[in-house]
Amino acid sequence: MKSHTGFRWFLCLLSLALLLPHCQKKDETPPPPKVLAPSVESSTPDPSSPPSASRPASQSSPDCCDITPVAGLKEGMGRIVVAYPGDPNGLAARLDIYEPGNSRSINGGYGSRKIELPPGTYDIGINGRRLGGVTVKAGHDTRINVGVLHVYAGKQTRIDLLDPSSGKVLTGGYGEQSYGFPVGPVSVQVAGQSETVPIEKDKVTEF
């Protein structure tokens, strides 16, 4: 009887000895992976990002024109007005009106002009220089600010007038001539030499 009791105690002690390491062993089961919430892009535009391609390439400067109310126009119509200073006889000044971004003229003429148009935004070309984003309002005149360049030269002398920023030839001819332009600088080129002169509002610039 005693031997059985001793054996039972031995078994109990053996069981405890075998179970104790398992009880003390740390749980090595890896934790479940964390589920990350999908990132949400901010709707705030990045100031370093390039501007949208739909933005107009160019706009007319604030001093390109004067818009004033006028009576006597057809209902719902506005008007583009170009009036050159000095003697208009023999003036080389071609006016073209375009829909924005288009190369085909929808209206125009030579010299001083008054042209009625539906309200909207137009591009205005004068002797090759193009103004973008010119506004026409119903019941208003949009007067394009222009001046005249008078060039003195011999009959056989070739004159070219260029855009100073791009070097593009705007117009030209031979001998003494007057040219109409929107206000701003114009380069006069004679025999490969050029000089930039200002075109001022309602003034004749002599060269």
Mean pLDDT for the stretch of residues 172-199: 94
| pLDDT(25) > 70 | no
Distance between first and last Cα of the chain: 138
What residue ranges define each of the domains in the chain, with the CATH number in brackets?
62-145 (2.60.40), 148-206 (no CATH)
Element (H, E) at 4: helix 2-24
C-alpha dihedral (76, 135, 122, 147), degrees to nearest 10:
120
Q: What was the pLDDT predicted at 52?
A: 34
Return d(Cα 121, Cα 7) in angstroms, integer: 108
Mean pLDDT for the stretch of residues 3-21: 45
Name the most confidently modeled range: 4-13, 46-55, 57-66, 176-185.
176-185
Q: What was the pLDDT predicted at 39?
A: 39
| pLDDT(178) > 50 | yes
Rounded to whole angstroms, what are the CA distances from 156 to 52, 174, 175, 176, 184?
49, 6, 6, 10, 28
3-state DSSP assignment of residue 83: coil
Q: Where does the pLDDT of residue 48 fall: very low under 50, low under 70, confident under 90, or very high at 90 and above? A: very low
- Of 99, 100, 103, 119, nearest to 55 by C-alpha is 100
| pLDDT(7) > 50 | no
Q: What is the pLDDT of residues 112-139, one digit of tens each?
A: 999 999 999 999 999 999 999 999 999 9
Q: What was the pLDDT predicted at 41?
A: 38
- Of 130, 146, 145, 183, nearest to 67 by C-alpha is 145
| pLDDT(161) > 90 | yes
Q: What was the pLDDT predicted at 5?
A: 44
This prediction's pTM: 0.68
Q: Are strands 78-82 and 158-162 parallel, antiparallel or unpaired?
A: unpaired
Mean pLDDT for the stretch of residues 167-190: 95
- Of 173, 194, 197, nearest to 183 by C-alpha is 197
Return d(Cα 24, Cα 138) in angstroms, integer: 91
Q: What was the pLDDT predicted at 61?
A: 54
Q: What was the pLDDT predicted at 62?
A: 58
| pLDDT(158) > 60 | yes
Average pLDDT over the chain reads: 79
